[in-house]
Structure 1
Amino acid sequence: MLSIQNIDKSFDALPVIRNLSFEVKDGEFVAIIGPSGSGKSTLFQLIGGVTSIDNGAILLNDTDIQQKRGTIGYMPQQPCLLPWRTILENVAIVEELHQKPNVELAKEWLDKVGLAAFEHAYPNELSGGMQQRVSFIRAIVSNKPILCLDEPFSALDEFTRLEMQAWLLSIWEKDRKSILFVTHSIEEALFLADRIIVLTKRPATVKKEMIVPFARPRQEEIRHSATFTALKQQLFTYLKEEKDEANVD
């Protein structure tokens, strides 16, 4: 379980996060939404050990992971694949960095997601959606207890993004690894997550938490339901309140 406990973070005199607390339970899919500039990317830097918190604690399975890199699996907005390496080599590189490359595991996962035929291809030979699949599998192969996904589908066109959402859930359902997912899309958060955390404007703290009531596995039809529409409107209202307050300030 990931536990964020009353953390603060400022850069020089600019407070970015203040008294932020939440948890991601084992096997839970949690989405984070918030106004632009509310500290979502900074939060991932703190969890990933890239930068330090000013106050509070970040615990993973009761162990303090402050400034400890390599404790989480991470998938950025862009695939960040090495262009001179094949797809197989890109997936295996995580284990290679730990002096224990597992090519067979990488092959197994590429086969699971339908990319076995592309293992010897290079990133520029794949579509944007296929590159993001490789990036996600690379995060899974890292075998970390939680995956942090930072707006991974934001650069994709609408149709591909919907396909990738369904694909992500189909893969996630197989092992239910804990996921913390940052997105600007309310609809994406509702379709994917078990629970949604809404952040305030900067300095970010938790404004609201919403339990998503839809059964799993998720079906595309829920997007057109009255409940989905009502929850989407409620989340939009929360974000608009924060945007309006920011404009007043």
Structure 2
Amino acid sequence: MLSIQNIAKSFDALKVLDQLSFDVKDGEFVAIVGPSGSGKSTLFQLIGGVSPIDQGAILLNGEDIQQKKGTIGYMPQQPCLLPWRTIVENVTLVEELQHKSNVERAKEWLEKVGLASFIHAYPNELSGGMQQRVSFIRAMVSDKPILCLDEPFSAMDEFTRLEMQAWLLSIWEEYRKSILFVTHSIEEALFLADRILVLTKRPATVKKEIIVPFERPRKEEIRHSAAFTALKQQLFMYLQEEKGDMYVD
């Protein structure tokens, strides 16, 4: 599926990534945590073809996707919905740009996630959580082999965030898209992912890889288990070792 091979990236004299390597398998949910400023968003820019790498390789199903745009599905921190377009028009935007819009498929997806009555509404008529659902569906209907989600729930209140985590898992359990998920929340990473990659401080490389042992489908009760708490403390310790200015919860 996705193979990141010894990549490095600098901006002038600032080295952001160094010898960073990992894989994401078909249907796997991989979370990335690390200190603030360790290059997590930069990594997504490189995978998405927005910026060139200095060295190494980025392969998707064996194909070099360096500086090739449109090869991944992407969901940013903010929904980034166009206010003058209806919800269904926002969902079909990426496909329109690729000259293959499918309005009926977009409507079917919106119905699946409980937004059937908002198809012709505008973004300002939706709550923050509903807007993020639309943003995720837009990434899903693009039908890319992997979705890169960049802290999609970070701006939400705690209750909405928990609700959105459960919602995301329910969709992922059904369709098993490969997901690469950046988060500052250790608990979120543990609840959602199959594997967690802990990055070092800048220039970032992989410090630790954690295999999450909890069975699927995940239940809310797992958050209160001794095993969950122990892993959370272990991950926090790895991040503390990197020191620096960071936020984890």
Q: Distance in 2 between matches of 1:137 and 1:51?
A: 25
| 1:119-134 alignment runs, 5 A limit | 119-134=119-134
Structure 1 ranges of 4+ moved more than 6 A: none
1:170 aligns with 2:166: no
Q: Distance in 1 between matches of 2:27 and 2:51?
A: 26
Could you say which residue in structure 2 is the equivalent of 1:235? 235
Q: Distance in 2 between matches of 1:68 and 1:222?
A: 40
Gaps of 5+ in 1: none
Secondary structure of 1:5's counterpart equals: strand
Normalising by structure 2, we get a TM-score of 0.98
Matched residues, percent identical? 85
Evaluate the alpha carbon distance shift between residue 139 and residue 245 of structure 1 in structure 2; reply closer, same or farther with a 3 A threshold: closer
Could you say which residue in structure 2 is the equivalent of 1:110? 110
Evaluate the alpha carbon distance shift between residue 210 and residue 101 of structure 1 in structure 2; reply closer, same or farther with a 3 A threshold: same
Q: 1:93 deviation in Å?
A: 1.1
Could you say which residue in structure 2 is the equivalent of 1:185? 185
Secondary structure of 1:170's counterpart equals: helix
1:72 aligns with 2:65: no
CA distances 1:193-223 after superposition (whole Å, capped 9, x unpaired)? 0000000000000000000000011000000
Could you say which residue in structure 2 is the equivalent of 1:208? 208
Q: 1:244 deviation in Å?
A: 5.7
Q: 1:92 deviation in Å?
A: 1.0
CA distances 1:70-126 after superposition (whole Å, capped 9, x unpaired)? 000000000000000000100011111111110010001001000011001000000
Q: Distance in 1 between matches of 2:160 and 2:211?
A: 27
CA distances 1:47-89 after superposition (whole Å, capped 9, x unpaired)? 0000000000000000000000000000000000000000010
Q: Distance in 2 between matches of 1:98 and 1:202?
A: 36
| 1:1-249 alignment runs, 5 A limit | 1-243=1-243
Q: Which amino acid aligns with 1:44?
A: F
Evaluate the alpha carbon distance shift between residue 172 and residue 19 of structure 1 in structure 2; reply closer, same or farther with a 3 A threshold: same
Evaluate the alpha carbon distance shift between residue 5 and residue 84 of structure 1 in structure 2; reply closer, same or farther with a 3 A threshold: same
Two-structure CA RMSD over aligned residues (Å) = 1.0
Q: Distance in 2 between matches of 1:97 and 1:107?
A: 18
Q: 1:154 deviation in Å?
A: 0.3
Q: 1:243 deviation in Å?
A: 1.1
